Each structure stands twice: as structure tokens, then as C-alpha cells.
Chain A
Amino acid sequence: MVWFFDFEKFYVAAKKLFFSNPLKTRFLFKYRNCDGKVVLKVTDDQVCLKIATKYSQDLKHIKRINNLFIQSMANKDLQTHQKETSQVQNKKKKVRAKH
């Protein structure tokens, strides 16, 4: 089990793990209201990635990861989807680098 503390790194690692083995990877989301804690886990039964948070600022990161998995998992053609997502990321990086 590998614990992450940075959502960006977790996103990249989770994406990489999913596209390497799409049929075996699963994404788990756990929420405990009494502790006010959210735990995200991505695993393909060999490698396990985990991240936990209790801050409302991380909600956008949680939604982003959720959206990634819902879109990728229900998609028919994964190869084109993978290319599209990497293109979008590269564009965003260029825009950030300019500013």
C-alpha cells in the first residue's frame, strides 16, 4: 500500500495504473461523516495507491479523479480517450508555462 500526500501525483499515478490494466483496476471511495474523512484507493490487485483527506479544499481534486474514472471506465475506445486526455493535459501545461 502506497500512501500519497499530493493529489496531482496521485492523479498521474492512478491514470497510469488504470491505462496499463483497464479491466483489473478498480477505484474505491470511502467517506466517514463521524471522522469527516475521505479515502481514495486505486488498485489492480498488485499495486495499491491510496490518499486521504479531511479538507474541503480537496473536494475539487476528488471530483476530478471521479470524473476521470467514470469517463474512462464507461468509454468504448480507450486508446483514443487516452490520447485525448494527454493532449488536454499538455495544452494546460503550456498555458500554465506561458503565465
Chain B
Amino acid sequence: MLLTNDQFLLYLKKLFESNQKTGSVFVTLKRTNGQPPHKTNSTKKKKQTTNYRCLCRATDGKKKISTYIEHRNIVRFQIQYNTILQTNLKLVKKIVKKKKTKKSKFPRKSNIQKK
């Protein structure tokens, strides 16, 4: 389903929320020309102006949504997309174990000569 950028981000949030217990969310980014990948007779005849856009697709295996990101919308989309990832990605904190040093805190008593 082709949507506008704002609608896409809304649906993407819903996808993340509905797939919290089971399932996965896939997001694909691809650069498009506006032209089909294989040359056909129609592409050869027409003089086409290349309009580069980023096609962004998202799915959870069942529902499919997509949107085109244009040059003027990059920053806005990026900010909103990053906030969605920040809120919805629940990842584990890495625990860095401290290495135990062999030296003990209390210095060993040296051999004191008893009088």
C-alpha cells in the first residue's frame, strides 16, 4: 500500500506495537529511478527525466506498506524515523565484567623478624 511519509510512519509505529510478543518487522530502503529495471519498448521510445527517490517499504509478513522519500523530505523523515526506532527498539544493555586483579587490597605482612 503506497502512503505518504506521515501515514507511513504512523503505520510503522502500529506495526512495531502489534509485533511486540511475536513476529518481526522488516524495513527495506532502496534507491529508485522511477523507471522499471528491465528495458521495455516503451522506455526506449520515451525520453525520461530521472527523478531519484528512496523507496521505503515495511512489512511484518502480513501487512505491507511503502512510501517514497524525496530529497526535500529527507531530514524530516530521518528525525521522525529515528524517534520511532528509539522508542520501539528494546535492546539489552551490555554488561562489561571487570577483570579481577590478582593483587589483594590488604598488603601481605612481610616476614617480620621477631625479637
Contacts and interface: CB of A to CB of B under 8 A. Distances in A.
B55 to A, nearest CB: 8
Interface majority SS (helix, strand, loop, mixed), chain A: mixed
Interface string B13-35: 00010011111111111111100
Interface residues of B, number: 37
Contacts, number: 109
A85 interface: no
B74 interface: yes
B74 A70 contact: yes
Interface size class of A (residues with CB under 8 A): 20 to 34
A46 to B, nearest CB: 15
Interface in A1-36: 22-23, 25-34, 36
19 contacts: A26-B30, A29-B29, A31-B24, A32-B24, A33-B16, A33-B19, A54-B91, A57-B94, A59-B85, A63-B82, A63-B85, A67-B82, A69-B54, A70-B29, A70-B81, A73-B31, A73-B52, A73-B54, A75-B74
Given A26-B30, A53-B91, A56-B92, 9 more contacts: A28-B27, A31-B88, A36-B91, A54-B92, A59-B91, A66-B85, A67-B82, A69-B29, A73-B54
Interface of B: 16, 19-33, 52-54, 69-71, 73-74, 77-78, 81-82, 85-86, 88-94
